[in-house]
A and B are shown apart, each in its own frame.
Chain A
Amino acid sequence: MMASSYKDEDGHISVSGTGAGAGSLPSKKPENTAFKQQRLPAWQPVLTAGTVLPAFFIIGLIFIPIGIGLYVTSNNIKEFEIDYTGLDPSSPCFNCSQNFSWNSTKPCTCSIPFYLEQPYESNVFMYYGLSNFYQNHRRYVKSRDDSQLNGNEESLRKPSKECEPYARHDNRPIAPCGAIANSMFNDTLELFYSDPNGTKTQIPLTATGIAWWTDKHVKFRNPGGNNDNLTAAFQGTTKPINWRRPAYELDSDPENNGFINEDFIVWMRTAALPTFRKLYRIIQRRNTMVPTLPRGNYTLEVVYNYPVRSFDGRKRMIFSTISWMGGKNPFLGIAYITVGSVCFLLGVILLFIHHKYDNRNNNPDISSN
């Protein structure tokens, strides 16, 4: 009885309901839009054997070749590295590394012979590498005055507090100020090729084009604008304590002197990790017929100025060629290969499990409901 009367009421309601809706008052009925009724298209992946297995195989098949390609490319990049720190008594630079003094006027030089087993064909990039050198320490990183480096006269005279304790020396402002500039790498590296005949020729090294364009042209500017006389522009300032020469004597080329000296700019772009390498010189390829660096004996002549022994540092010199993917970096290729293989393997395992234990028929699948 209850049920029947309930149904009667039901019908009654719907009739009167439509009547009320058409009444004169605007109905409060919510709008029937996809947004308001939450009917916007939504999709959620349903993970079944049919979707998961192909996905694994496809990922595997795509990733493994990419990884192999990357790995081969990286492997084709030639790299050569020598450590010239001179900690070992047998090393040519042992003496230089032991008798170090910031103030010594006589430069200590040492030469390291080495043999290149492979010729280097295209442009060769020459790096210096430092280890255990915390260029990423916060106090070190912020110890610079960007406005001074951008040629601001006022900052030149009054370096920012961030530069302390390398802001003033002998009551004169330091230009460039700060711990980064003060600790600039100042070894000089020169490369000589020994002919099979025994003649020693110096290999020309290009010192420009090693800094970022924006750094060279935007971020770093000499004080005094286009004034050619850098000496006058730096009047009243003093050189950083550890430097041997003031900033305006870094290079004879006016386009590579003062704050826009590229070695300086490269140094000022601090490295992210305590073991790093920085571009030092580029060995341009001159003749298409001859390799840039042919196989043979070479000598690296080092003017040993930079002390690293106190903090267990290491100094290295590196040659490297580059490819479309940059310098030598096998990691990316290995990562791709690993992920691809794992996916492929999982695919195989899952396929096996799916085949062996599939019991869909006796178990109502959720998605079929």
Chain B
Amino acid sequence: MLGCLYVHCRSETTSQDKGLRKVTRPPAPSPRSCASRLCSVLAEKERRVKANDREHNDRFPYADNRIKTSKYNAFTFLPVNLFEQFQRVANAYFVILLILQLIPEISSLSWFTTIVPLGLVLAITAVKDATDDYFRHRSDQQVNNRQSQVLIRGSVQNEKWMNVRVGDIIKLENNQFVAADLLLLCSSEPYGLCYVETADLDGETNLKVRQAPNVTSDLGDVSRLTDFDGEVICEPPNNKLDKFTGTLHWRDNEYSLDNEKMLLRGCVLRNTEWCFGMVIFAGLQTKLMQNCGKTKFKRTSLDKLMNTLVLWIFAFLVCMGVILAIGNSIWESWIGRRFEVFLPWGESRSSAVLSGFLTFWSYVIILNTVVPISLYVSVEVLRLSHSLFINWDQKMFCGRTDTPAEARTTTLNEELGQVEFIFSDKTGTLTQNIMAFSKCSIDGQTYGDIYDEFDQRVEITEKTACVDFSFNPLCDRGFKFHDSSLVEATKREDPAVQEFFRLLALCHTVMPEEKSEGDLVYQAQSPDEGALVTAARNFGFVFRARTPETVTLWEMGRAVTYQLLAILDFNNVRKRMSVIVKNPEGHIKLYCKGADTLIFDRLDPSCSRLMNETSEHLSEFAGEGLRTLALACKDIDEEYYEAWAERLRCGSTAIEDREEQLAVLYEEIEQGMKLLGATAIEDKLQEGVPETIARLNLADIKIWVLTGDKLETAMNIGYSCNMLRDDMNEVFVVSGQTRLEVQQQLRSAKEHIVGLSRVSSPGDIEKSDAFADDSVFEEAIIAEYALVINGHSLAHALEPQLEHILLDLACLCKTVICCRVTPLQKAQVVELVRRHRGAVTLAVGDGANDVSMIKTAHIGVGISGQEGMQAVLASDYSFAQFRCLQRLLLVHGRWSYFRMCNFLGYFFYKNFAFTLVHFWYGFFCGFSAQTVYDQWFITLFNIVYTSLPVLAMGLFDQTLSKSYRTSVTRTVCATRACTNRASRTFSSTSAGSSCAPCRG
């Protein structure tokens, strides 16, 4: 039952992915869902829902809670399915052929020669579609018939899900699925809190808090809820899972609503006895359903090649037809005319030209076997099996997290063998994203390193003694720290150290879970936060409980409760988060942590000296590949806060531009802060990363790292995974602030490379600027270069004037690292390479910030790691470890590509060999379209006699199976040869006439 909804929702996407149907186009949405979506798009600018007022709500065309993901019913199945199938070119072609065959004058083959294979193909596809749809029907029904408790006429009654309507008030109990998108009204927990698990929505398994609006949180009993007649005005249905804007109008007051007050369909209620919610979006308009079935279809180059080939073959067929038709005209006028004693022309063939014309169509019928009807079906079968092989591969299975690799799209397998560029995220992809608090700098003093008696830094190993935290009964035993001076500092009650850890314990969004006394588990959305809060916990500032308005700490053994006034949350633009709290003494304080550059810009001038010291420490940390954050705090005047809070309240009820307004307000209060220090978190490299990168490099695949980390960290990771090496000729660092600077840096770097190679190869220097001859050049450069570019510069470099230089330079370098990039820039970089190089790109990442890049690249790979499932959900392939990439590309991709090429070659060969006989025979039978073979033989040749051998080869063929382990170079050579092989196979089978535009 658990996860059923999810499966239900995904059944649409997965079945499309894996289905035979998918080859040509995504199936059209069912008429009904289309209509409802159309309504929502055309008519609905905003939604007005009144609680407990069905008549009012019925006036609007809001969808009810019945969902329908199925496409057919018993009556519409045949016509609709056939209609869909005949939209495929191949099927339509064969129908035209069938019609031609029914004309006796030109029918050279009986109609059954076409209808048998066509019927077979249609039947297989139809059966598959029908089973898919049957399961969709079943799950629809199951979901629609789930029971929920609805408040009707003053009492809570059981009602099926499908009968729930917008505006109804629903009671949910613990561990129940949420039936529709609800506005949380009240719950059994204090302050109208409730907890939900959103695993089905975004794959994150940690609990999330939702809080009812303050005004409704005390509507605890049924009678008061029955009287509730608030009206919600909100945005129309959309698919943004993390955004909601609306207002609640009740008793002449307006209250702002946001995503924190919504329970979305697909969530499960946890740790909450009951709660009431009002239905805002129902059925197909819920955010879950709006997110379903909109997979973007990616096509492989082989797909395109195949279509081109089929077109060429078709042209070839027409050519042969024309030649034979001309032959027929000539034959009939020279020989046939004199042969009339035995074979009169008859009425239908009054002239040789007419006879030739009719013969053309007869030959179109006869030669139809060159256009392979079963090709598309066979290709689908192959791709599906190749994907299953990926899913089944034990070597891509991660035992620790129990995750096998998953091919989420079945159509891209052979493209894997052609990847030339890999764009990789760093955190969580190259590294484990298991964070460990490793160092810190407090008030100009670093902690974390240990020194021996000679003041020499000691290498920290497994055996190094850990700090004993036994003084703290609430400590986390898994936490390891080696520098005891920090503990001493906390024990000394050094105010700076205390404030430092207090910030760490207060400023976060972690949820504590205390199962038994002292057994604390933190549910953190990002592992960084978890690491920091855990560190604070061990050093005596234990974060124990949280309510929406308070945070309770256990500071050095005594409970202190802070009033939580505001959370200024983190996002990718702000790159920092703050909390405003009031301590028991009544002082209001703002605690802020975030990226150092952003924090340093907002510091009080008084701490500039500390800032310098800290930034020195920060670059030192970053140099060791650690992730750093700067911490700052600020005392706030009570009056000032009140005024600010008032404006915040105003801003947060706005429907339009709410985000922008809030951002301005946040910016305003996060000024003039005092620096506390900085933290450094270690993010360990994943298993086998350097080896994988080395292998991929050998295979001539270029790896670009796109990371949000700072330059030093990124470079350090680059060194540790062998992408940057000390023996490289030059590492160019582009970090200009203005366009001109960036341009100059790029130019000089390029000239450096080009200039050096010019020495050995005398060439025209003027030409070196030309874009065209650089590709030739790339081959000639033996020296190794690396390019490191930061986000600021990248923004300039991605402008249309500079992007060519950037691309040229980047392609001349062996390693490219882009740091400090935004998710959008990641996508832009991928797009740049994709557009101008025409190479197959692969993006690999694990977090939500990689989604855009994953979607932009030809192939998106998601690492199912610590940062939720968004990346995986957007990806085409997913697995748990970066090192699986080499097996995916070098083994599965290569095999898939090889098999596919050989399969296509074999397939076209057998069709040509079979059909060209008729062309040859035309010259002996007076170009009369007489067949050589028996009609049944022609009928069954493709789909019965010869389908299995080609399929078997496409499935099981293994080239150089063992070479992978033993010798990489061989694999590499073969990978390269593969491309050549493919083009060769194609051109040779197409008998030179349909020489395909293959990439060499």
Nearest CB of chain B from residue A270's CB, rounded to whole Å:
9
Are A134 and B925 closer than 8 Å at their CB atoms?
yes
Are A183 and B930 closer than 8 Å at their CB atoms?
no
| Cross-interface CB contact of A9 among B432, B461, B720, B961, cutoff 8 Å | B432
Are B389 and A36 closer than 8 Å at their CB atoms?
yes
Told that A20-B401, A138-B362 touch, could you supply 15 new A-B pairs with CB distance under 8 A?
A2-B625, A6-B684, A30-B393, A30-B397, A38-B895, A38-B961, A42-B958, A42-B961, A133-B342, A136-B926, A137-B343, A165-B344, A183-B343, A311-B338, A369-B966
Interface residues of A in 322-369 (CB under 8 A from B): 366, 369
Interface residues of A in 17-40 (CB under 8 A from B): 17-18, 20-21, 25, 27-32, 36-38, 40
Show the binding face of B for A, using Cβ within 8 Å: 104, 108, 335-336, 338-339, 341-344, 346, 362, 389, 391-394, 397-404, 432, 459-462, 624-625, 684-685, 687, 720, 895, 924-926, 928-930, 932, 956-961, 963, 966-967, 970
**CA gap between A143 and B362 in the complex, in Å:** 16
Q: Please, which residues of chain A bring their CB within 8 A of the CB of B930?
A: 136-138, 141
Are A28 and B339 closer than 8 Å at their CB atoms?
no
**CA gap between A179 and B930 in the complex, in Å:** 15
Q: Please, which residues of chain B bring their CB within 8 A of the CB of A137?
A: 336, 339, 343, 925-926, 928, 930
Are A40 and B459 closer than 8 Å at their CB atoms?
no
| Cross-interface CB contact of A138 among B108, B339, B397, B961, cutoff 8 Å | B108
Q: Which residue of B lies closest to A29 (CB)?
A: B397
| Residue of A3, A16, A30, A272 with most chain B CB atoms under a 10 A cut-off | A30
**Does A139 sit within 8 A of B, measured CB to CB?**
yes
User: What are 26 contact pairs spanning A and B, CB under 8 A?
Assistant: A2-B720, A5-B460, A8-B461, A8-B462, A17-B399, A17-B400, A25-B402, A27-B402, A28-B397, A30-B393, A37-B392, A38-B956, A42-B957, A44-B960, A136-B924, A137-B928, A138-B108, A138-B362, A138-B929, A164-B346, A165-B346, A182-B342, A183-B341, A183-B342, A274-B925, A369-B966
| Residue of B344, B402, B685, B970 with most chain A CB atoms under a 10 A cut-off | B402
Q: Please, which residues of chain A bring their CB within 8 A of the CB of B404?
A: 28-30
Nearest CB of chain A from residue B403's CB, rounded to whole Å:
7
**Does A307 sit within 8 A of B, measured CB to CB?**
yes
**CA gap between A136 and B336 in the complex, in Å:** 12
Q: Which residue of B lies closest to A9 (CB)?
A: B684
Q: Which residue of A lies closest to B107 (CB)?
A: A142
**Does A140 sit within 8 A of B, measured CB to CB?**
yes
Please list the 3 inter-chain residue pairs (A to B) with the smallest Cβ-Cβ separation, ordered nearest first: A17-B399, A138-B928, A42-B958
Nearest CB of chain A from residue B938's CB, rounded to whole Å:
14
Known: A30-B392, A31-B392, A311-B339. A20 touches B402 (CB 8 A): yes
**CA gap between A17 and B403 in the complex, in Å:** 11
**CA gap between A182 and B389 in the complex, in Å:** 63
| Residue of B391, B684, B925 with most chain A CB atoms under a 10 A cut-off | B925
Interface bits A34-60 vs B (CB < 8 Å: 1, else 0): 001110101010000000000000000
Are A139 and B970 closer than 8 Å at their CB atoms?
no
**Does A10 sit within 8 A of B, measured CB to CB?**
yes
Are A18 and B104 closer than 8 Å at their CB atoms?
no
**CA gap between A223 and B926 in the complex, in Å:** 34
Are A36 and B392 closer than 8 Å at their CB atoms?
yes
Q: Please, which residues of chain B bring their CB within 8 A of the CB of A183?
A: 341-343
Q: Please, which residues of chain B bring their CB within 8 A of the CB of A2?
A: 625, 685, 720
**B contact face: mostly helix, strand, loop, or mixed:** loop
**Does A1 sit within 8 A of B, measured CB to CB?**
yes
Nearest CB of chain B from residue A8's CB, rounded to whole Å:
5
**CA gap between A136 and B343 in the complex, in Å:** 11
**Does A295 sit within 8 A of B, measured CB to CB?**
no
Q: Which residue of A lies closest to B355 (CB)?
A: A139
**CA gap between A307 and B398 in the complex, in Å:** 85
| Cross-interface CB contact of A179 among B342, B399, B966, cutoff 8 Å | B342
**Does A312 sit within 8 A of B, measured CB to CB?**
yes
**Does A13 sit within 8 A of B, measured CB to CB?**
yes
Q: Please, which residues of chain A bring their CB within 8 A of the CB of B956?
A: 38, 40, 42
Q: Please, which residues of chain B bring their CB within 8 A of the CB of A132?
A: 335
Nearest CB of chain B from residue A147's CB, rounded to whole Å:
15
Q: Please, which residues of chain A bring their CB within 8 A of the CB of B342?
A: 133, 140, 179, 182-183
| Cross-interface CB contact of B389 among A1, A16, A28, A38, cutoff 8 Å | A38
Q: Which residue of B lies closest to A43 (CB)?
A: B958
Known: A36-B392, A37-B394. A139 touches B343 (CB 8 A): yes
**Does A214 sit within 8 A of B, measured CB to CB?**
no
**CA gap between A114 and B905 in the complex, in Å:** 57
**Does A232 sit within 8 A of B, measured CB to CB?**
no
Are A44 and B959 closer than 8 Å at their CB atoms?
yes
Q: Which residue of B lies closest to A17 (CB)?
A: B399
Nearest CB of chain B from residue A293's CB, rounded to whole Å:
33
Q: Please, which residues of chain B bring their CB within 8 A of the CB of A42?
A: 956-958, 961
**CA gap between A30 and B398 in the complex, in Å:** 10
**CA gap between A325 and B626 in the complex, in Å:** 85
Interface bits A182-219 vs B (CB < 8 Å: 1, else 0): 11000000000000000000000000000000000000
Nearest CB of chain B from residue A240's CB, rounded to whole Å:
11
**CA gap between A40 and B385 in the complex, in Å:** 15
Q: Please, which residues of chain B bring their CB within 8 A of the CB of A227?
A: none
Nearest CB of chain A from residue B963's CB, rounded to whole Å:
8
Are B625 and A369 closer than 8 Å at their CB atoms?
no
**CA gap between A195 and B92 in the complex, in Å:** 73
Known: A4-B461, A29-B404, A30-B394. A273 touches B924 (CB 8 A): yes
Interface bits A239-253 vs B (CB < 8 Å: 1, else 0): 000000000000000
Q: Please, which residues of chain B bring their CB within 8 A of the CB of A28?
A: 397, 402-404
**Does A161 sit within 8 A of B, measured CB to CB?**
yes
**CA gap between A307 and B932 in the complex, in Å:** 28
Are B928 and A139 closer than 8 Å at their CB atoms?
yes
Are B335 and A311 closer than 8 Å at their CB atoms?
yes
**CA gap between A274 and B970 in the complex, in Å:** 56
**CA gap between A9 and B336 in the complex, in Å:** 86
Nearest CB of chain B from residue A76's CB, rounded to whole Å:
30
Nearest CB of chain A from residue B892's CB, rounded to whole Å:
9
Are B402 and A29 closer than 8 Å at their CB atoms?
yes
Interface bits A272-298 vs B (CB < 8 Å: 1, else 0): 111000000000000000000000000
Nearest CB of chain A from residue B692's CB, rounded to whole Å:
13
Interface bits A135-156 vs B (CB < 8 Å: 1, else 0): 0111111010000000000000
Q: Which residue of A lies closest to B969 (CB)?
A: A369
Are A138 and B925 closer than 8 Å at their CB atoms?
yes
Interface residues of A in 108-134 (CB under 8 A from B): 132-134
**CA gap between A134 and B967 in the complex, in Å:** 63
Q: Which residue of A lies closest to B345 (CB)?
A: A139
| Cross-interface CB contact of A29 among B339, B399, B720, cutoff 8 Å | B399
Q: Which residue of A lies closest to B399 (CB)?
A: A17
**CA gap between A139 and B404 in the complex, in Å:** 62
| Cross-interface CB contact of B685 among A6, A17, A140, cutoff 8 Å | A6
Q: Please, which residues of chain B bring their CB within 8 A of the CB of A171?
A: none
| Cross-interface CB contact of A307 among B341, B462, B967, cutoff 8 Å | B341
Nearest CB of chain B from residue A321's CB, rounded to whole Å:
28
Q: Please, which residues of chain B bring their CB within 8 A of the CB of A182?
A: 342
Q: Which residue of A lies closest to B332 (CB)?
A: A137
Nearest CB of chain B from residue A89's CB, rounded to whole Å:
21
**CA gap between A141 and B970 in the complex, in Å:** 58
Q: Please, which residues of chain B bring their CB within 8 A of the CB of A134?
A: 335-336, 339, 343, 925-926, 928
Q: Which residue of A lies closest to B930 (CB)?
A: A138
Nearest CB of chain A from residue B324's CB, rounded to whole Å:
12
**CA gap between A123 and B153 in the complex, in Å:** 107
**Does A90 sit within 8 A of B, measured CB to CB?**
no
